[in-house]
């Protein structure tokens, strides 16, 4: 079976790219699959996670990301032009390669793939939450635009043979969609086990962008009692547009002795295993890979109650703690509670490891195999 995966770039260290890498590696190992990865914004960069040599990579050279800093009016007209080029070039690739299934990652102008009549079945993967644009900080005209685009997203789902979301929570937000399926992200067995009793490290992982709200995490960390800040350390693994401002915030809060921002790690499971718990401060997610990966090595998780993921996976007080979205005081208190009590960390660690087993690779990938066989009539 020939599969085409279509996304913006594989050069970034985000969770969706790691998921794609894991899927492709699994398909190649299983055998019987030919895989092509088509990107729009690769710009000659190698994949952050190196794909098997059998995988063919094609970049369309659209480069939407180049326009993100433009003013909205200019960006609107340039994007419309690029979408036409995008559709033409993608159609040429699909007509030439003749895949059985084309899988488009939202939001890489996902509707483009759905409108091309090349004979392949079309699947859209949604790695966000339904209302991810409508965060509290989006106001005025930008909120009206966000409402329009959120409405438009649902229209685009009708262009595809199957629309795949990650969690039951997100599925409920889409209402009645006849072509909707729920398939969580898979995780690999790493063999690592977290040293939650001995460690005095707290880990956070993600792109340094507004969505992740690491500024809230830093505020919460600064609220910890001095004896905890002096004996524990927070490590944030990621890069992105807010790196400079976050480092300035660390200095302004006077927490530079206990907080560090480190580059994305290709050995993230080792970083999980060296930690006592994971903390998540996002505004929204789809199903964050860091959440289930951390649990797979036995890490408890302290998290904001964002959409989507925590409510489907974290059993509050059992394998982690959930606090109200954006409540820095509550986040600080929850971290302090886990820091102070070795017994709590050990009990949560056992439960976290058990929870993660539902997301192991073979079970989840079998769902994709069944879906692809169903769509292709095999």
Task: In whole angstroms, give the CA distance from residue 248 to residue 181.
Answer: 43
Q: Average pLDDT over the chain, rounded to whole? A: 92
- CA angle (327, 330, 331) in 5-degree steps: 85
Residue 62 burial class via C-beta count within 10 angstroms: exposed 0-12, middle 13-18, buried 19 and up: buried
pLDDT per residue as tens digits for the range 111-123: 799 999 999 999 9
pTM for the model stands at: 0.82
Task: In whole angstroms, give the CA distance from residue 2 to residue 98.
Answer: 8
The answer, yes or no, to whether residue 125 has pLDDT greater than 90, is yes
Task: In whole angstroms, give the CA distance from residue 361 to residue 378.
Answer: 22
- The β-bridge partners of 201 are 233
At residue 111, φ and ψ (nearest 5 deg) are -60, -25
Instruction: Tell me whether strands 180-182 and 201-205 are parallel, antiparallel or unpaired.
Output: unpaired
The pLDDT assigned to 140 comes to 82
CB 310 within 8 A of CB 304: yes
Name residue, tokens 């087993």: 357
The pLDDT assigned to 108 comes to 67
Tokens of 366: 């079998």
Name residue, tokens 């629309």: 163
- CA angle (335, 339, 340) in 5-degree steps: 120
Q: Is 364 helix (H, G, I), strand (E, B) or coil?
A: helix
| Residue among 235, 294, 306, 287 nearest 264 (CA) | 235
At residue 322, φ and ψ (nearest 5 deg) are -115, 135
Sheet with 121-125, side-by-side order of all strands: 56-59, 34-39, 2-7, 101-105, 121-125, 162-165, 180-182
Lowest mean pLDDT among 90-94, 148-152, 167-171, 181-185: 148-152
Lowest mean pLDDT among 105-114, 192-201, 249-258: 105-114
The pLDDT assigned to 208 comes to 96
Tokens of 81: 């032009």
Domains and CATH numbers, the chain: 2-186+360-376 (3.40.50.2000), 201-358 (3.40.50.2000)
pLDDT per residue as tens digits for the range 230-250: 999 999 999 999 999 999 999
pLDDT per residue as tens digits for the range 214-229: 999 999 999 999 999 9
């Amino acid at each position: 079976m020939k599969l085409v995966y279509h996304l913006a770039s594989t050069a970034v260290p985000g969770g969706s790219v790691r998921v794609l890498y894991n899927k492709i590696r699994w398909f190649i190992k299983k055998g019987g699959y030919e895989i092509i990865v088509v990107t729009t914004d690769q710009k000659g960069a190698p994949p952050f996670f190196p794909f098997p040599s059998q995988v063919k990579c094609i970049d369309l050279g659209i480069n939407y990301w180049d326009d993100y800093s433009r003013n909205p009016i200019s960006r609107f007209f340039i994007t419309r032009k690029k979408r036409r080029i995008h559709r033409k070039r993608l159609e040429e690739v699909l007509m030439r390669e003749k895949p059985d299934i084309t899988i488009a990652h939202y939001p890489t102008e996902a509707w483009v793939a759905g409108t091309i009549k090349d004979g392949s079945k079309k699947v859209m993967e949604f790695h966000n939450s339904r209302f991810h644009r409508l965060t509290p900080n989006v106001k005025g005209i930008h909120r009206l635009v966000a409402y329009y685009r959120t409405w438009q997203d649902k229209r685009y789902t009708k262009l595809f043979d199957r629309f795949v979301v990650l969690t039951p929570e997100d599925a409920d937000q889409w209402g009645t969609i006849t072509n909707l399926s729920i398939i969580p992200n898979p995780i690999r067995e790493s063999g690592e086990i977290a040293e939650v009793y001995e460690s005095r490290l707290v880990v956070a992982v993600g792109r340094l962008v507004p969505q992740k709200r690491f500024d809230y995490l830093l505020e919460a960390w600064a609220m910890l009692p001095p004896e905890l800040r002096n004996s524990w350390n927070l490590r944030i693994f990621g890069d992105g547009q807010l790196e400079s401002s976050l480092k300035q915030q660390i200095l302004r809060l006077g927490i530079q002795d206990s907080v560090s921002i480190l580059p994305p790690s290709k050995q993230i499971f080792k970083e999980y295993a060296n930690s006592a718990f994971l903390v998540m401060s996002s505004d929204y997610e789809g199903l964050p890979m860091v959440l289930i990966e951390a649990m797979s090595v036995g890490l408890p998780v302290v998290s904001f109650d964002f959409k989507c993921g925590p409510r489907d996976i974290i059993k509050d007080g059992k394998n982690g703690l959930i606090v109200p979205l954006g409540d820095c005081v509550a986040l600080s208190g929850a971290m302090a509670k886990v820091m102070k009590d070795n017994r709590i960390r050990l009990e949560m660690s056992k439960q976290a490891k058990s929870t993660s087993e539902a997301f192991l690779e073979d079970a989840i990938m079998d769902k994709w195999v069944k879906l692809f066989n169903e769509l292709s009539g095999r």
